[in-house]
A and B are shown apart, each in its own frame.
Chain A
Amino acid sequence: MSSSTLLAVSEISKTFPGVKALDNVTFDVLAGEVHGLVGENGAGKSTLMAVASGALRADEGTVTIDGEVMSGDPERARALGIAIVRQEPALMPDLTVAENLYLGVREGARPAIGDLSRWSAQVLCRWNENITVKPSDRVDTLNPEQRFIVEIVKALAGEPKVLILDEPTEHLAAEDMERLFARIKDVTARNAAVVYISHRIREVQLVADRLTVLRDGQSQGTYSARSLSEDAIIHLIVGTDLEREFPEKETVFEGEVFSVRELAGKGFNSVTLSLRRGEILGLAGISDNGQHEFIRALAGLNKIKSGDVLVDGRAVRVTSPIAAMGNGISYLPGDRHREGIFADLTCRENFSSRSAWKDTYSMVVNTGHETNRTAQAIRQFAIKTPSTETPIASLSGGNQQKLALASVLASDPTVLLVDEPTQGVDVGARAEIYKILRENAKKGMAIIVMSSDAAEIAGLCDRVVVFSRGSVVKTLSGDEVVENAITGAALKSTSVRTRSERMASGFWRWAAGDAAPLVMIGLAILLMGAVAASQNEFYLSMRNISGMLVLVGTLALAAYAQQILLLVGGIDLSIGPAMGLVQVVGSFYLVQDAGLEVHAMGWVFMLAAALSIGVLNWLLVEPFKLHPMIATLATFMGVQAVSLILRPAPDGSIDGEILSLIGERFGGIPLTFVTAVLVGFVLEFILFRHRLGFTFRGLGSRQEAARVAGIVPAKTRLVAYLGCSLLAFMAAVAMIEQVGIGDPRAGLNYTLGSIAAVVIGGTSLFGGRGSFIGALLGAIFIIQVNTVTTFLGLDQAWQSYLLGTMIIIAVSLYSKSRQMAVAA
């Protein structure tokens, strides 16, 4: 075995606001070895690997990969041979497995796109011959376990020199764990290295040659994996620091006030426990073992499948947070920013959010009373804030947390659920939070604390239940509640996750796919055509068809323009006026007898007008950070104004020769329609068979994952805005033939028309999903609706009814099917 160093991290320090995440850590990985990295939650393992893989830049120290120094550059780290498997897979949910694999591997390892599905199938098979994941599966339809396998396969596919695995077995069933260990052997056999991060010491001892222990951002040394016993490693992980101040525990409790019997739900099953007044119960265990789902189920945020919840001996149903609070159960969420606070609102509003009824007299909030109550809480809990009117976001993490806790306590719960009481909280505030919890327990409240910090659980709780893989594996009480025992119970647990086999039903899976909107809209178009033709034979006449197709061509091109921006998560309201402006500009140059030179100039100016609108929109959205809707609303008005200034009234007839050129028909089929179809197919090909298309959809799907895959958001959006402008230009040219004169208002209807067409065609306004063929069919559908009503002798109002109903049916069906496929 060679002993050359593949990855050397030396003297790395990294400080986040308020915490020193890494403190002078040195660590190296040799060729051919598996290097274990162990430590508690928050010890700095993930930060260290983020630094090593270039996702984070260290404050001090150097990272050397295979002899070359790298700093804060994920692309370069990947090119140098680092591949990382994250606990939370960095996949783009709207892309297929194959597309994610393609974007995820380093540039040199990518196959030709024509070969992509064969290549993907092959790399997936290398993991498991009978793998159920297909290259064409969309990632959002996979379950967490399958997603994790894709993440591993993605990392392996690039044949990395250093493979970093972050908690790899948390999501895997037993057989896949064995496969993973086999793959690790393959990697080391070709003289590459593996960094194996895990809480589970037994696993690390099994696979690792050497291991490094991290505690509170400091390295506790690197050891040969076999030279240390399990207990010795636990001791290194936990340390002996008991610096934290915990309030004194209680020993005597009154009667039982809360209990659950045989409770089961998503992620946990048959949990039975009870709680007495004044008692603090801890839920411990390695993260993702069901304790989090359990506490959320008690709060009414997760569904309970079976079992009973009793408050004061009374069976209650906690179907929603409202029901839970109504029964005296209040919850302090762990994810403070997303679920615990209202970041933009003031301390006062945050405080009273759970108890505003206390300040309310006949529906009117007494602000004075509310302010007094808030001020009192601020004093009582020593919350450092300039005033009650300060937005909570400007407080430190600890003060935010104390305020959120104060808010929950103000709702006077019988049972208080606290999820991660001190995450992102400075040391001083921690002790105060422990004190507040203990004081409230003394007053008779029953408290359940869930924490991934075993020391916290040990110091704070009277009794502890340890979760593993969804069940309670151990209950500790009295003198047993010490950190070693809790960590030991969690780490030594070897229970195995049962494989989840849920899949959406066939119909919903199909309906959530890319083909479904096309088939459904196609059928609707045929059906409507058939009805119209049966009522009026003139409907199928060439003259009518040809007239319809002219309109379809223009609308389809405008819809493509909209489609491009929706794909990357934007929107363009200015398409209509932009088309109008292009046509108005044209009306000054493309006039009869102006000569070829003037005509050529006209075309250049028209294109320039369109592209400059795109650039302007991009400038407002990217550097100026305006909401795309506001930005393009402003350009909508601005561009329309320019058109109206140039041509206050329709004027400037376009040269007849140009009109007849654009209006060319091949056996009745208009040139513009043919162009629109061709362009649609080319764009569709790019979207699904070219890297640019993957990039667009990936960015719209999940910006963070796209960035990890080396996509630059601002640059990609500029390309999207320019593409949008180019297509709007083409749509305007197609429109010229119908208008024939410089009309400043000609394009206006195309803004909403283009949105309607793409939405009917199956595009998600959330970004990442869409199809140009769908947009084309959407355009055909809209034009057909407008025409059919006349042929059926229906009132003109039916145009609107049909269009509105169709949008609602189509969008709710797509939305529902995507939910069904994802939820499975």
Chain B
Amino acid sequence: MSDVLANQAVPTSAESGVAKMKGRLSTGEFGWIWIATSALFGISAIVAPGTVRFTSIVAMLPFAAMLAIVAIGQTIVIQQRGLDLSSAGLMSLSGILVAQLGFSTGSIFLAVVLTLIVCAICGAVNGLLIARLNIMPIVATLATNALLLGAIQTLSGGSPMTVPKALEDFSHERLFGVPYTLFLSLVFVAFAAFVSTRTLIGRQFIAVGANQRSARAAGIGVLRYQVGTYAAAALCFAVAGMLYAGFIGSASQVAGNDYLLPGIAAVVVGGTPFTGGRGSVIASGVAAIFMTQLGMMVLALGAGTAFQLLVQAGVIVLATTIRHIPGLLRVPR
């Protein structure tokens, strides 16, 4: 009885709304990246079996792990309707800083902590520029990225630096044959996912991203979330930067550039929209594996890095348009 009433009471507009939401959910907003990744490994096994051997997967995973950590940072920024171009500068800076501080303090632990603090402050500056001075995120982070490049130049004097042995060892360390970096990135993804979905902070963070005005009216401190988001993102970029420097064995001034666009691409492919609020760090993390494996497969097929880039571009377009297809198909009806 109550069901009948309920159905009658829903006006026509809501019906189309329900249909729209169902369409979106059935394609799996953040779920389909899992399907796509499984399919990719399946295809890889057939067309490029070399890429799915244990050794090659273990060789691929550290890169995927670092990309995943960058993508987490970029995801939370995009959930706040922003974009962080300073991820490049922050990644490079953290590598240089940890190397210098590591040698000057003699303690890798202290170096890591200090690097994280510096980068978090840089991120908070981004947030303040955006939230308080009302500068568009892309412009603010473009400017801070320039400042960071200056700082990198000043610190390093323009030449790559070797990193402390301890950091290098950590980046290459394996547990049961699986690289440490992967565990670290799993911890990051799990922590970010937990905070953003299961804590009060995460709830309010999502509310601010979804609708800043509603959040303000609901008594949520919008400013602290905006600033906090950029600071947290900066921490992600810093960790990735340190791992990368350790992995390569030297900290370069341009290390971060390699991860700027792929980091954003992973978020887009993972399904986090640029409209704010909704998002999934887990999907971004899986997308990082997807993008890295896709690159490996394309390379194994004998195509060059250029073709790899083309495929990635195609994937971005596909990943963003695929969500419209159910809608487009329904229009004629």
Residue pair A634, B10 in contact (C-beta under 8 Å): no
Which of B21, B139, B275, B313 contacts A807, CB < 8 Å? B139
Which of A321, A626, A799, A801 contacts B219, CB < 8 Å? A321
Measured between C-beta atoms, what is the minimum distance from B226 to chain A in Å? 15
Q: Is B11 an interface residue (CB 8 A)?
A: yes
Which residues of the partner chain B approach A752 to less than 8 Å between Cβ atoms? 85, 142
User: Taking CB as reference atom, which chain A residue is nearest B308?
Assistant: A641
Q: Measured between alpha carbons, how far is A395 from B152 in the docked complex, in Å?
A: 52
**CB-CB contacts of B15-38 with A at 8 A, as 1s and 0s?**
001101100000000000000000
Q: Is A179 an interface residue (CB 8 A)?
A: no
Which residues of the partner chain B approach A321 to less than 8 Å between Cβ atoms? 216-219
Given A301-B217, A393-B21, decide whether A641 and B310 contact each other with a Cβ distance below 8 A.
Answer: yes
Residue pair B20, A394 in contact (C-beta under 8 Å): yes
**CB-CB contacts of A341-360 with B at 8 A, as 1s and 0s?**
11111000100111011001
Q: Is A322 an interface residue (CB 8 A)?
A: yes
Q: For B135, B151, B152, B219, which residue has the most chain A Cβ atoms within 10 angstroms?
A: B219
Q: Is A630 an interface residue (CB 8 A)?
A: yes
Q: Measured between alpha carbons, how far is A661 from B109 in the docked complex, in Å?
A: 60
Given A321-B219, A804-B145, decide whether A799 and B210 contact each other with a Cβ distance below 8 A.
Answer: no
Which of A330, A407, A626, A807 contacts B320, CB < 8 Å? A626
Could you tell me which residues of chain B, from 208 to 230, have a CB within 8 Å of some CB in chain A? 210-211, 213-221
Q: Is A564 an interface residue (CB 8 A)?
A: no
Which residues of the partner chain B approach A397 to less than 8 Å between Cβ atoms? 11, 13
Residue pair B145, A811 in contact (C-beta under 8 Å): no
Q: Measured between alpha carbons, how far is A340 from B307 in the docked complex, in Å?
A: 48
Residue pair B277, A345 in contact (C-beta under 8 Å): yes
Residue pair A807, B142 in contact (C-beta under 8 Å): yes
Could you tell me which residues of chain B, from 195 to 218, have a CB within 8 Å of some CB in chain A? 198-204, 206-207, 210-211, 213-218
Which of B201, B216, B268, B275 contacts A633, CB < 8 Å? B268
Q: Please report whether the interface of chain B is mostly helix, strand, loop or mixed according to DSSP.
A: helix
Q: Is B59 an interface residue (CB 8 A)?
A: no
Q: For A299, A342, A407, A766, which residue has the most chain B Cβ atoms within 10 angstroms?
A: A342
Residue pair A636, B14 in contact (C-beta under 8 Å): no
Given A630-B268, A804-B145, A804-B147, decide whether A352 and B307 contact each other with a Cβ distance below 8 A.
Answer: no
Which residues of the partner chain B approach A801 to less than 8 Å between Cβ atoms? 146-147, 150
Which residues of the partner chain B approach A363 to less than 8 Å between Cβ atoms? 199-201
Measured between C-beta atoms, what is the minimum distance from B295 to chain A in Å? 12
Given A354-B218, A644-B304, decide whether A636 and B140 contact each other with a Cβ distance below 8 A.
Answer: no
Which residues of the partner chain A approach B206 to less than 8 Å between Cβ atoms? 345, 349
Residue pair A800, B261 in contact (C-beta under 8 Å): no
Q: Measured between alpha carbons, how far is A819 from B135 in the docked complex, in Å?
A: 12
Which of A333, A755, A811 contacts B217, CB < 8 Å? A333
Which of A396, A626, A643 contacts B9, CB < 8 Å? A396
Which of A360, A643, A804 contacts B150, CB < 8 Å? A804
User: Taking CB as reference atom, which chain A residue is nearest B135?
Assistant: A811
Spot the interface stretch: A80-88, A733-741, A790-798: A790-798
Q: Is B233 an interface residue (CB 8 A)?
A: no
Residue pair B203, A634 in contact (C-beta under 8 Å): no
Could you tell me which residues of chain A, from 349 to 397, have a CB within 8 Å of some CB in chain B? 349, 352-354, 356-357, 360, 363-365, 367, 384, 386, 390-391, 393-397
Given A363-B201, A627-B274, A637-B312, decide whether A341 and B143 contact each other with a Cβ distance below 8 A.
Answer: no
Q: Is B165 an interface residue (CB 8 A)?
A: no
Residue pair B139, A797 in contact (C-beta under 8 Å): no
Q: Is B108 an interface residue (CB 8 A)?
A: no
Which residues of the partner chain B approach A642 to less than 8 Å between Cβ atoms? 306, 310
Measured between C-beta atoms, what is the minimum distance from A687 to chain B in Å? 21
Residue pair A804, B310 in contact (C-beta under 8 Å): no
Residue pair A804, B143 in contact (C-beta under 8 Å): yes
Q: Is B154 an interface residue (CB 8 A)?
A: yes
Q: Measured between alpha carbons, how far is A393 from B16 in the docked complex, in Å?
A: 11
> Which size class do A's interface residues fall under?
35 or more
Given A384-B10, A755-B142, decide whether A352 and B17 contact each other with a Cβ distance below 8 A.
Answer: no
Which residues of the partner chain A approach B317 to less than 8 Å between Cβ atoms? 620, 626, 631, 634
Q: Is B301 an interface residue (CB 8 A)?
A: no
Q: Is A331 an interface residue (CB 8 A)?
A: yes
User: Taking CB as reference atom, which chain B residue is nearest A639?
Assistant: B313
Residue pair B211, A322 in contact (C-beta under 8 Å): no
Q: Is B39 an interface residue (CB 8 A)?
A: no
Given A356-B200, A396-B9, decide whether A341 and B144 contact each other with a Cβ distance below 8 A.
Answer: no
Q: Is A635 an interface residue (CB 8 A)?
A: yes
Which residues of the partner chain B approach A386 to less than 8 Å between Cβ atoms? 18
**CB-CB contacts of B132-158 with A at 8 A, as 1s and 0s?**
011110111011111111111110001
**CB-CB contacts of B310-333 with A at 8 A, as 1s and 0s?**
101110110011001000000000
Interface size on B, residues (CB 8 A): 79
Residue pair B200, A360 in contact (C-beta under 8 Å): yes
Residue pair B21, A390 in contact (C-beta under 8 Å): yes
Which residues of the partner chain B approach A330 to less than 8 Å between Cβ atoms? 219
Could you tell me which residues of chain B, from 249 to 298, have a CB within 8 Å of some CB in chain A? 261, 264-265, 268, 274-278
Residue pair A800, B147 in contact (C-beta under 8 Å): yes
Q: Is B1 an interface residue (CB 8 A)?
A: no
Q: Measured between alpha carbons, how far is A804 from B126 in the docked complex, in Å?
A: 12
Q: Measured between alpha carbons, how far is A407 from B219 in the docked complex, in Å?
A: 12
Which of B133, B309, B320 contacts A644, CB < 8 Å? B309
Q: Is B83 an interface residue (CB 8 A)?
A: yes
Measured between C-beta atoms, what is the minimum distance from A316 to chain B in Å? 14
Q: Is B305 an interface residue (CB 8 A)?
A: yes
Which residues of the partner chain B approach A339 to less than 8 Å between Cβ atoms? 211, 213-214, 217
Q: Is B129 an interface residue (CB 8 A)?
A: yes
Residue pair B134, A819 in contact (C-beta under 8 Å): yes
Which residues of the partner chain B approach A634 to less than 8 Å between Cβ atoms? 313-314, 316-317, 320
**CB-CB contacts of A14-42 with B at 8 A, as 1s and 0s?**
00011000000000000000000000000
Could you tell me which residues of chain A, from 268 to 325, have a CB within 8 Å of some CB in chain B? 299, 301, 321-322, 324-325
Residue pair B218, A353 in contact (C-beta under 8 Å): yes
Given A343-B211, A638-B313, A645-B310, decide whether A799 and B150 contact each other with a Cβ distance below 8 A.
Answer: yes
Q: Is B6 an interface residue (CB 8 A)?
A: yes
Measured between C-beta atoms, what is the minimum distance from A318 to chain B in Å? 11
Which residues of the partner chain A approach B201 to less than 8 Å between Cβ atoms? 363
Residue pair A800, B139 in contact (C-beta under 8 Å): no
Residue pair B278, A344 in contact (C-beta under 8 Å): yes
Which residues of the partner chain B approach A393 to less than 8 Å between Cβ atoms? 17, 21
Q: Measured between alpha carbons, how far is A533 from B306 in the docked complex, in Å?
A: 45
Residue pair A324, B219 in contact (C-beta under 8 Å): yes
Q: Measured between alpha carbons, how far is A755 from B14 in the docked complex, in Å?
A: 42
Which residues of the partner chain B approach A798 to less than 8 Å between Cβ atoms? 150
Residue pair B305, A644 in contact (C-beta under 8 Å): yes
Residue pair B314, A645 in contact (C-beta under 8 Å): no
Q: Is B12 an interface residue (CB 8 A)?
A: yes
Q: Measured between alpha carbons, how far is A352 from B310 in the docked complex, in Å?
A: 44
CB<8 Å pairs between A and B, sample of 7: A342-B277, A397-B13, A627-B320, A648-B306, A756-B146, A804-B143, A808-B144
Q: When A and B form their complex, which 10 residue pairs have the shortest distance between CB atoms, in order from nearest?
A: A17-B13, A644-B306, A800-B150, A804-B146, A641-B310, A638-B313, A797-B153, A804-B147, A641-B309, A807-B143
Further contacts, 18 of them, CB under 8 A, given A342-B215, A394-B20: A321-B216, A341-B214, A344-B275, A354-B219, A364-B200, A399-B14, A629-B83, A630-B320, A634-B316, A637-B265, A638-B313, A640-B309, A641-B306, A645-B307, A756-B142, A765-B139, A797-B152, A804-B143
Chain B: residues with CB nearer than 8 A to chain A? 6, 9-14, 17-18, 20-21, 83, 85, 129, 133-136, 138-140, 142-154, 158, 198-204, 206-207, 210-211, 213-221, 261, 264-265, 268, 274-278, 304-310, 312-314, 316-317, 320-321, 324
Chain A: residues with CB nearer than 8 A to chain B? 17-18, 299, 301, 321-322, 324-326, 330-331, 333, 338-345, 349, 352-354, 356-357, 360, 363-365, 367, 384, 386, 390-391, 393-399, 407, 411, 426, 428-429, 571, 620, 624-627, 629-631, 633-638, 640-645, 648, 752, 755-756, 759, 765-766, 795-801, 803-805, 807-808, 811-812, 815-816, 819
